[in-house]
Chain A
Amino acid sequence: MTPTQDALAPGANGGIQPGRYYGRGLPYLPLDDYPGRIIAIEGSDGVGRSTQIRLLRQWLEVKGYGVVETGWTRSPLMQPTIDLAKSSNTLNKLTFVLLYATDFADRLEKEIIPALKAGFIVLSDRYIFTALARAGVRGVDRPWLRNLYGFAIAPHLVFYLKIDVESLISRVLQARGMDFWESGMDLKLGDDIYDNFRAYQSRLLREYTSMADEFHFRVLDARRPIDRIQEDLRQQVDTFLTQSDVSTPAPEPART
Chain B
Amino acid sequence: MFVTEWNSSALVKAATKAGKKKNALTPMTFSLLHATDFADRLLYKIIPPLKAGMIVVADRYAYTAFARDAVRGVDRQWVRDLYGFAVRPDLALYFRVPIDVSLDRLLARRVKLKFYEAGMDMGWSASPAESFRLFQSRVLEEYDHLVDEYGLTVVEAAGSITEQQKIVRRHVSALLEDAR
- Residues from chain B with Cβ under 8 Å of A147 in the complex: 78, 81-82
B8-27 CB mask vs A (1 if < 8 Å, else 0) is 00011011001100001111
Query: Is there an interface contact between A78 and B72, defined as CB atoms closer than 8 Å?
Result: no
- Residues from chain B with Cβ under 8 Å of A23 in the complex: 78
- Residues from chain A with Cβ under 8 Å of B150 in the complex: none
Closest to B15 in A: A81
Query: Is there an interface contact between A78 and B15, defined as CB atoms closer than 8 Å?
Result: yes
Query: Is there an interface contact between A81 and B14, defined as CB atoms closer than 8 Å?
Result: yes
Query: Is there an interface contact between A84 and B14, defined as CB atoms closer than 8 Å?
Result: yes
Partner of B81, one of A26, A98, A144: A144
Q: A150-B78, A151-B78 are in contact. Are A85 and B72 (CB under 8 A)?
A: no
- Contact-residue bracket for chain B: 20 to 34
- Residues from chain A with Cβ under 8 Å of B43 in the complex: 92, 94-95
For the complex formed, measure the closest distance between the CB of A233 and the CB atoms of chain B, giving whole angstroms. Answer: 31
- Residues from chain A with Cβ under 8 Å of B74 in the complex: 26-28
Query: Is there an interface contact between B36 and A98, defined as CB atoms closer than 8 Å?
Result: yes
In the bound complex, what is the Cα–Cα distance between A95 and B77 (angstroms)? Answer: 21
CB within 8 Å of B: which of A77-132? 77-78, 80-81, 84-85, 90, 92, 94-95, 98-99, 101-102, 105-106, 108-110
Query: Is there an interface contact between A81 and B12, defined as CB atoms closer than 8 Å?
Result: yes
Query: Is there an interface contact between A26 and B28, defined as CB atoms closer than 8 Å?
Result: yes
Query: Is there an interface contact between B29 and A95, defined as CB atoms closer than 8 Å?
Result: no
Closest to B70 in A: A27
For the complex formed, measure the closest distance between the CB of A112 and the CB atoms of chain B, giving whole angstroms. Answer: 13
B140 at the interface (CB under 8 A from A): no
In the bound complex, what is the Cα–Cα distance between A34 and B19 (angstroms)? Answer: 28
In the bound complex, what is the Cα–Cα distance between A26 and B32 (angstroms)? Answer: 13
A48 at the interface (CB under 8 A from B): no
Partner of B33, one of A25, A26, A102, A109: A102
B40-70 CB mask vs A (1 if < 8 Å, else 0) is 1011100000000000000000000000000
Question: Can you name 9 extra interface pairs (CB under 8 A) apart from A28-B74, A92-B43, A98-B32?
Answer: A24-B77, A26-B73, A27-B74, A80-B14, A95-B43, A98-B35, A98-B39, A99-B12, A105-B29
Q: List 21 A-B contacts (CB under 8 A).
A: A23-B78, A24-B75, A27-B73, A27-B75, A28-B73, A78-B15, A80-B15, A81-B12, A90-B11, A94-B43, A94-B85, A95-B11, A95-B40, A98-B39, A101-B32, A102-B29, A105-B28, A105-B29, A106-B26, A106-B29, A144-B84
Q: Which 3 A-B pairs have the closest CB atoms?
A: A28-B73, A98-B36, A102-B32
